[in-house]
Structure 1
Amino acid sequence: MRRTPHRRAVATGALVAVAAMLAVGAQAGTGTAATPRPGPAQAVPAPGALPAELSPSQRAELIRAAEAGTADAARQLKLGAQEKLVVKDVSKDADGTVHTRYERTYAGLPVLGGDLVVHKSARGALKGVTKAVTARLTVPSTTPKLRPAAAEAKAVQAARALGAERTAAAEAPRKVIWAADGTPVLAYETVVGGLQDDGTPSELHVITHAGTGAKLFQYQGIENGVGNSQYSGRVTIGTSGSAPNFKMTDTGRGSHRTNNLNHGTGGSGSLFTDADDVWGDGTPSNPQTAGVDAAYGAQETWDYYKNVHGRSGIRGDGVGAYSRVHYGNSYVNAFWDDSCFCMTYGDGRNNTHPLTSIDVAGHEMSHGVTSHTAGLEYARESGGLNEATSDIFGTAVEFYANNEKDPGDYLIGEKVDIYGNGEPLRYMDKPSKDGNSADYWSSRVGDLDVHYSSGVANHFFYLLAEGSGPKDIGGVHYDSPTYDNKPVPGIGRANAEKVWFKALSQYMSANTNYAGARTATLRAAADLFGEGSATYNTVANTWAAVNVGSRVPDGDSGGSVFESTDDVRIPDAGAMVTSPITVSRSGNAPGTLKVGVDIVHTYRGDLVIDLIAPDGTAYRLKNSDANDSAADVRTTYTVDASAKAAGGTWKLRVQDVYAQDTGYLNGWKLTF
């Protein structure tokens, strides 16, 4: 599907071009490329699993090749005759593995929630597919019963119910296939413009059933957030031009430019210019000062993604976005807007606290990166993951900048002082310290505002990077708890960043929830460090520490774990299905082989489950039981497999033997 342009708010730095390098600001302290603080001793990622840095021409060539092969890819994936693939993005690992992200159409209509990622080896062999939905797309008719005007009225009504002002359809309703809830239906997507109650632009996307008129889903395209107004001392930024007409345009970073809205709320504003290439004076009364912070945040974010993850610009195409500062009057927010490909910053309380700090800039631009990779929808658990991703990479950019005036920390927006009491906006070590955010997952997390449901992933990332318990980092004291009161050691911030970026760009999709994020990060960890490695197991245990999934048996690093996270649909009263795991281990299997099973099913009594050894021997794990009406199978079985060789392909075999109830295998693992 082609997503309607999104605006993502929170904190976005600008990208700055370099023609002339100059000093800016009135305080001392120069921002330089960061030297990451060493984390706990951990395995180094396998070089071949890291993303390769692609030039714009190399990326364009990969995209052209993918576009030329969409029909073959659709056949290989056994898509229906009316389904087509549209290339959204391509990334490549150093070992030649290519990850192609597709959106789908059905009968020419965009499929919302139908995105998928195909993973192929350097030789073109299929390594796996990550799908947002596993069901095959079939829709009885693409002729709607509901008129577009009725869908538009429903959407405007939904926007008004949220307190939006000046609501009106920003564009006519378009027909789509809504597949995110598992059963594809014909629907309308309507985008409603206006203002949110705090003055932030509104871009509410409302999905309406084209037959019944029922509202299926809604999300805010403008993603709100706040950052702290902060100055980074005397810094160098990329500019262009010559005296007396220097421009705040960074030609070395995709020609990112920084514009002055001069307290307006529309248009692109006017580009900052200067006679002597010395910008601002470090005070909010000088309009250039906020521009300097935005430009500096943009260049640090650009450099971070390019030098750490091999991504050149938000879209990976070498093209810079632009920044707008001085939005509105005393506007306490900042936002990313896909439709203008720009970051926008308010001036904060009393127009004296611009939301242009480094972490806010990194946060906002990271919304853009998310939009052009996984495209996490800004609602429910996926919205929390979207927000957390921006907090994670905003924090990463702050550490990367290594600026003595704003050292890296795990506090979000600490320099903006949005509350007027010196407290940060969010805390990653214990998110609940803000009074609203969730430390751990629960079934209610998806009902929270996305800035608060983000706490689960923020907490996970802090624990994964630094480990649990009390510690001092950069002069800040942290004390991070765990859900199960068991410690986790952390893998170091640099490794944690690599895991999250690879998971985001190659294994998450628009509707990924927290269980899916666990799956995505484990796949990323397997690529980077090896499946069953100590680092892989730490990722699994860290999710358990925030109540997502279970720990590796026998402690924090006990046993080698081999896991499949691929979804496999279980036919109702149908044939047996299997899921393979290839084990690379010498010797025989243990007498206490642990088989962890995670099946989502509406009536588990229907299920028969077997473990199949590489030589074909079957071990019965579970019999059917017509009286067992409970849902799901989430348990660990113990098998005496000591007579079998450990190495080879093991399979989990599942059959639903009774009619009326359905489900799927969410994943399983072997612990040796």
Structure 2
Amino acid sequence: MSSLAKALSVAIIFGAAGQAAAADNATIATRALGVIRNNPVPTRLSANDAFVTRDVIVGRDGTEHVRFDRTYKGLPVIGGDLVVHSKAGVLKRTSLTQASAINVSTTPTITSAAAIATAGRAWAMAYDVSPTSRLVVFAPAAKTPKLAHDVVYVGRAKDGTPIRMHYYVDAVTGAILDKTNAIKTGTLPGTGYPTGNTPPPPNVIPSIGPGFSLFAGNVTLNTQFNNTRRIYELIDPTRGNTSITDMGNGYRTGGTLMVDADNRWGNNALSDRVSAGVDAMYGFQKTWDFYKNKFNRNGIRNNGQGANGAVHYFLNYTNAFWNDDCFCMSFGDGNGTTVRPLVSIDIVGHEVSHGVTAATANLTYASESGGLNEATSDIFGAMIEYYANNAKQPPNYVIGEQIFTTPAWNKFIRTMFKPNLDGLSPDCYPSATTPSNGISLGNFKAMDVHYSSGVANHFFYLLAEGVVVPADYAAGTPANLGPSNLVCNGNTGLTGIGRDAAMQIWYHALTVYMTSNSDYAAARAATAQAAIDLYGAGSTQHNAVIDTWAAVSMP
């Protein structure tokens, strides 16, 4: 057996979704490894590569889409992820951004301590725990792979948001190659490590109880009765044991599980701390059902496991966030005056969707891939709001409007139909010669990902709805928008294909074709191919994708 063939080992990681499905996926993954072996150039294969399966999707036509994480001589490869698209063992295409096969020494010149010191000078603030370092191969898009130290500093921003900054320090020169934050704002800090002996599992009974929320009205919650402790717990055993904890307005622990004696939760007001927990659990349950019923996805990781979410994070914290490193999330209470707790359903859906992105394309949270990461959460956050169709939370393409104590047309986190209503997000993709809303292409690539997300949000709105101005923002309202304000190329006749088709295309593009360093050009190609896969080449949906990218200035 050649060294190249020996390198093609694979680890299959699946949860409790069923042994038969796991066995089928293992067979498909093994077949995909054979495809890699037979196609070393398009897969950027080296003799020292190995692969871990992250996801397996089988298309309607039998095409097998297998997503892999790559290692090189046992080291993680940052940016080395790829998706193999094949049918009957024959390669159709690959999705990846790694520029070339890896050929680097794994012996560092710069020590771990020196790399930590270098990153520390860039960090330049207090940290909560001692920084750590591990060796990796750094292989982002269009760059030569390099050996690097992945140095992690953990701390907090001035507003209390956790920071888990990964610095990639060249292990030969000592230069900082890149940095990325594992916290996606909008994540619950780590829940710590257990001590002592693990207690036996409790005797629990699934239950259903009423919830009295802040935003969603009176809802029905799946909970459980802990027969060992003789108390009800805000844990949903029907959705992977999703749970809600109360952080007690702190930040260093995982919080305390919400419990109740009579299985009645909250009181529709801030006077009961559980009310915010009701909104969070309601949002989690609707989000789980949305992904299950729309895409047959079984939880965030598609493995049947639920997430932990925490409310009442920190003091006067006006944000919510997802943490890739612990796969968990948390929500602040707002500032106590103008902003209420950040647990409206579109915000909950937004944060959970960061987890879905992390489990699939794992879009790097910087530059254009970071903008696509944020847009994906906005897109599905809005679609989850439409799915819930709660009269107390009228669905729309405005993100986070419910959290403001004084509702108004200009009180929101983002608007998908006209991103620049916030004065910062560009409506259109800038070209090398033509800025968008005064933003050059270089500045666009470097801007905060919450604003560069605007172009993808705009694309999705137009794809789903066409050039239709929402009534609350139409001519004669304070926003005073007309059809020409919604497009960048004057095509006011653009017709939408509907929310369901648009979300299917975006989800398919995310889970099948996008990879960690996908940029807007890659997203355009991924959505076009997704439309072909789902609806056929030259279909109304395929043509609409092409026309809609043009309408936001992506040629």
Supply the RMSD in Å over aligned alpha carbons: 2.4
One-letter code aligned to 1:250: D
One-letter code aligned to 1:231: F
Q: 1:426 aligns with which of 388, 392, 414?
A: 414
Contact 2:140–2:517 (8 Å) recurs in 1: no
Match of 1:37 in 2: none
Consecutive unaligned residues of structure 2, counting only runs of 5 or more, are 1-15, 188-212, 431-440
Match of 2:96 in 1: 131
State how 1:62-141 maps to structure 2 within 5 Å. 62-66=24-28, 68-69=30-31, 71-78=33-40, 79-121=45-87, 123-139=88-104, 141=105
Match of 1:392 in 2: 379
Q: Secondary structure at the match of 1:268?
A: coil
Deviation at 1:69, TM superposition (A): 4.8
Query: Going by fraction, where is strand more abundant, 1 or 2?
Result: 1
Match of 1:232 in 2: 216
Match of 1:484 in 2: 489
CA distance in 1, matches of 2:137, 2:91: 29
Q: 1:200 aligns with which of 135, 149, 161?
A: 161
Deviation at 1:398, TM superposition (A): 0.4
Tell me if 1:219 matches 2:202.
Answer: no
Q: Secondary structure at the match of 1:415?
A: helix
One-letter code aligned to 1:406: Q
Query: Relative contact order: is structure 1 or structure 2 higher (C-alpha 8 Å, sep ≥ 6)?
Result: 1
1:472-527 deviations in whole A, cap 9, x for unaligned?
Answer: 38999975521111132111111100000000000000000000100100010010
One-letter code aligned to 2:174: G
Deviation at 1:449, TM superposition (A): 0.3
Deviation at 1:194, TM superposition (A): 0.8
CA distance in 2, matches of 1:72, 1:452: 41
CA distance in 2, matches of 1:346, 1:531: 45
Match of 1:611 in 2: none
Deviation at 1:285, TM superposition (A): 1.7
Q: Which stretch shifts more, 433-442 or 286-295?
A: 433-442
State how 1:584-603 maps to structure 2 within 5 Å. none
Q: 2:116 aligns with which of 115, 128, 152?
A: 152
> Would the alpha carbon gap of residues 386 and 418 (structure 1) be closer, same or farther in structure 2, given more than 3 Å must change?
farther
Match of 2:203 in 1: none
Match of 2:455 in 1: 456
Deviation at 1:169, TM superposition (A): 4.6
> Would the alpha carbon gap of residues 129 and 473 (structure 1) be closer, same or farther in structure 2, given more than 3 Å must change?
farther
Match of 1:143 in 2: 107
Consecutive unaligned residues of structure 1, counting only runs of 5 or more, are 1-53, 550-672
1:266-310 deviations in whole A, cap 9, x for unaligned?
Answer: 222121111221110000120110110000000000000000011
Match of 1:666 in 2: none
Q: TM-score when scaled to structure 2? A: 0.83
> Would the alpha carbon gap of residues 511 and 179 (structure 1) be closer, same or farther in structure 2, given more than 3 Å must change?
closer
Q: 2:282 aligns with which of 296, 315, 331?
A: 296
One-letter code aligned to 1:508: M
Match of 1:467 in 2: 466
Tell me if 1:504 matches 2:491.
Answer: no
Deviation at 1:174, TM superposition (A): 2.5
State how 1:197-346 maps to structure 2 within 5 Å. 197-225=158-186, 231-241=215-225, 245-346=231-332
CA distance in 2, matches of 1:517, 1:455: 14
CA distance in 2, matches of 1:100, 1:184: 23
Q: Which stretch shifts more, 530-539 or 412-421?
A: 412-421
Q: Secondary structure at the match of 1:231?
A: coil
Q: TM-score when scaled to structure 1? A: 0.69
State how 1:354-393 maps to structure 2 within 5 Å. 354-393=341-380
Q: Secondary structure at the match of 1:336?
A: strand
Q: Secondary structure at the match of 1:265?
A: coil
Tell me if 1:547 matches 2:553.
Answer: yes
Q: 1:184 aligns with which of 116, 136, 145?
A: 145
Deviation at 1:535, TM superposition (A): 1.6
Match of 1:415 in 2: 402
CA distance in 2, matches of 1:74, 1:519: 22
| Number of aligned positions between the proteins | 489
Q: Which of the two has higher C-alpha Rg?
A: 1
Query: Going by fraction, where is helix more abundant, 1 or 2?
Result: 2
Deviation at 1:411, TM superposition (A): 0.3
One-letter code aligned to 1:486: N
> Would the alpha carbon gap of residues 127 and 175 (structure 1) be closer, same or farther in structure 2, given more than 3 Å must change?
closer
Deviation at 1:107, TM superposition (A): 2.1
> Would the alpha carbon gap of residues 204 and 242 (structure 1) be closer, same or farther in structure 2, given more than 3 Å must change?
closer
Q: Which stretch shifts more, 102-111 or 455-464?
A: 102-111
One-letter code aligned to 2:371: G
State how 1:442-453 maps to structure 2 within 5 Å. 442=430, 443=441, 444-453=443-452
CA distance in 1, matches of 2:391, 2:301: 30
CA distance in 2, matches of 1:336, 1:62: 32
